[in-house]
Amino acid sequence: MKFAFYPGCVARGAGPELFDSAVAVMEKLGIEWVELTGASCTGAGVLQEKDQKLGDILNIRTLAMAEQLGLPVMTICSTCQGVMAQADRRIRRDADYLEEINGYLAEEGLSYSGNTTVKHLLWVLVEDIGVETLKKTFVKELSGVNLAPFYGCYIVRPSDALGFDENPERQTSLETVIEAVGGNVIDFPGKTACCGFPILLINQRNSLRMVANHTGTASELGADAMVTPCPLCHLNLDGYQPKARRQNKRGKADLPIIHLPQLLGLAMGIDSKTLGLGKHLVNTRDIVRKVDSISVAS
C-alpha cells in the first residue's frame, strides 16, 4: 500500500510530533509513502475566502502531482483533507473549470484528469487496512482508557464533498479506531463542532470559549484524553487550553490532546519519545503512565 504523502504545513511546522508519530506508525502499518515536497499549502479555507479559484489551482496541482506518480494522496490533517476534497468536488462537477485550472498547470507539465483520491490516514485505517488487520499491529489493549473523539470540521463537512454516501463508515471512523485500540469512547456533541482555531487570531475570546467547552465537557464525562486527526484543532485545544480553562473556569485539570497517530503508536508499543508526547503544552504524563502500566500482550 503506497501513498503520495501530504502531511500539511502544521505537521511540517508547529506540530512536528504529528509528522514523527505518523512516520513511525506508517512503518508499523506497512504503508509506503513518498512525500509531496513540492506541493503547496491547501489554503485551509483562508486563501479560498479571497480567491477560491487560486486555492483550487493550488490543490488540483497537488492532486496532479500525485496522479503523475500514480498514487492516491494521503493526509494527516482534517483541514487539508476537507479543502482538497472540496476542490476535487468542484472540478469533478465542471469539466470546463478543470480545463481552465489545467491551463495554469500546463507550464510546469502538470495536468489533472481526476484519477486519484485524497484520503486521510483515519479513512485509510478503516477502509484500506481494515479494523481486523489494524488490530494485529497493536501490542497493547488500552482497556479502561477513556478517549473523547474530536474530528475537526473539514473532515465532517460539507458532507457531499467527503464521500459519505459511498463510505458511510467515515462518519464514525474515529470512534471505530478508539474502539479498535480497546479504549472507551467518550461521546459528546462537541466532537464534530469547531475547535475555534480559525478565529484564534481574530476573536480569541470566542475561540477560547470553544476550547473550554469541548475540553471541559469531555473532562466532565470522564475522558482521560481527547484524540484528534486535525493538527489545527490540536494547536488550539492543546496550546490554548490552559488559558481557555482559566478564562472560562471550566474543568479541574487540563485534558491531554493526542494526535491520531500518537494513539495508534501507544497501542503499537512505540515509545512516547518517538511519538513526541513530550512536545504538547498540556502534559501527557498521566495518559502515558496509564498506557505504560498496561502490559504488552504476549
Partner 1 sequence: MQAKLKVSRYDPETMGQGQQRWDEFELDVHPNATVLDALIQIREEVDGTLALRCACRASICGSCGMRVNGDAKLVCKSRIADVGEEGATIVVEPMGNQAVIKDLVVTLDTFFDKVRQVDPYLQPDSEPEQGEYVASDESMVNLLTAMNCIMCGACVSDCTVLEVDEAFIGPAALAKAWRFVEDPRDDQRDARLEELNDVEGGIWDCTRCFKCVEVCPKDVAPMDRIMEMRDMAIEAGNTNTSGYRHTESFNKSVKKHGRLDEARLAVESAGYTNVPRLIDLAEIGVKSVLKGKMPPIVPHKADEKEKITRIFEKVESERGS
Contacts (CB under 8 A) with partner 1, residues 239-278: 239-240, 276, 278
Pair 225, 256: CB distance under 8 Å: yes
User: Out of 34, 46, 95, 221, which residue is the one contacting partner 1 (CB under 8 A)?
Assistant: 46
Closest listed residue to residue 222, CA positions, set 188, 245, 196: 188
Closer of 31 and 41 to partner 1 (Cβ)? 41
225/77 Cα distance (integer angstroms) = 19
What number of residues does the chain have? Answer: 298
User: Out of 24, 29, 41, 121, which residue is the one contacting partner 1 (CB under 8 A)?
Assistant: 41
- Pull the grid cell for residue 61: 496541482
Sign of torsion over alpha carbons 199, 204, 206, 209: positive
Establish if 154 lies at the interface with partner 1 (CB under 8 A).
Answer: yes
Establish if 69 lies at the interface with partner 1 (CB under 8 A).
Answer: no
28/44 Cα distance (integer angstroms) = 30
Establish if 49 lies at the interface with partner 1 (CB under 8 A).
Answer: yes
Q: Would you call 258 exposed, middle or buried from its count of C-beta atoms within 10 A (0-12, 13-18, 19+)?
A: buried
User: Out of 28, 53, 89, 290, which residue is the one contacting partner 1 (CB under 8 A)?
Assistant: 53
Task: Provide, rounded to whole angstroms, the least separation between the CB of residue 288 and partner 1.
Answer: 15
Contacts (CB under 8 A) with partner 1, residues 161-220: 189, 193-194, 196, 198-199, 201-206, 209-210, 213
Indicate the Cα dihedral angle 27, 126, 274, 147, nearest 10°.
-170
User: Out of 4, 31, 61, 215, which residue is the one contacting partner 1 (CB under 8 A)?
Assistant: 61
Contacts (CB under 8 A) with partner 1, residues 118-137: none
Establish if 280 lies at the interface with partner 1 (CB under 8 A).
Answer: yes
225/256 Cα distance (integer angstroms) = 5
Size of the site for partner 1 (CB under 8 A): 57
| DSSP sequence for 91-129 | HHH-HHHHHHHHHHHGGGT----S---EEEHHHIIIIII
Phi, psi for 203 (deg, rounded to 5): -140, 85
Closer of 64 and 223 to partner 1 (Cβ)? 64
Closer of 61 and 119 to partner 1 (Cβ)? 61
Stretch near partner 1 under the rule CB under 8 A, chosen from 23-31, 50-58, 171-179, 256-264: 50-58
Establish if 107 lies at the interface with partner 1 (CB under 8 A).
Answer: yes
- Pull the grid cell for residue 220: 466532565
User: Out of 15, 72, 163, 256, which residue is the one contacting partner 1 (CB under 8 A)?
Assistant: 15
Task: Give the binding site for partner 1 (CB under 8 A).
Answer: 9-10, 12-17, 37-41, 43-51, 53-54, 57-58, 61, 104, 107-108, 153-154, 157-159, 189, 193-194, 196, 198-199, 201-206, 209-210, 213, 239-240, 276, 278-281
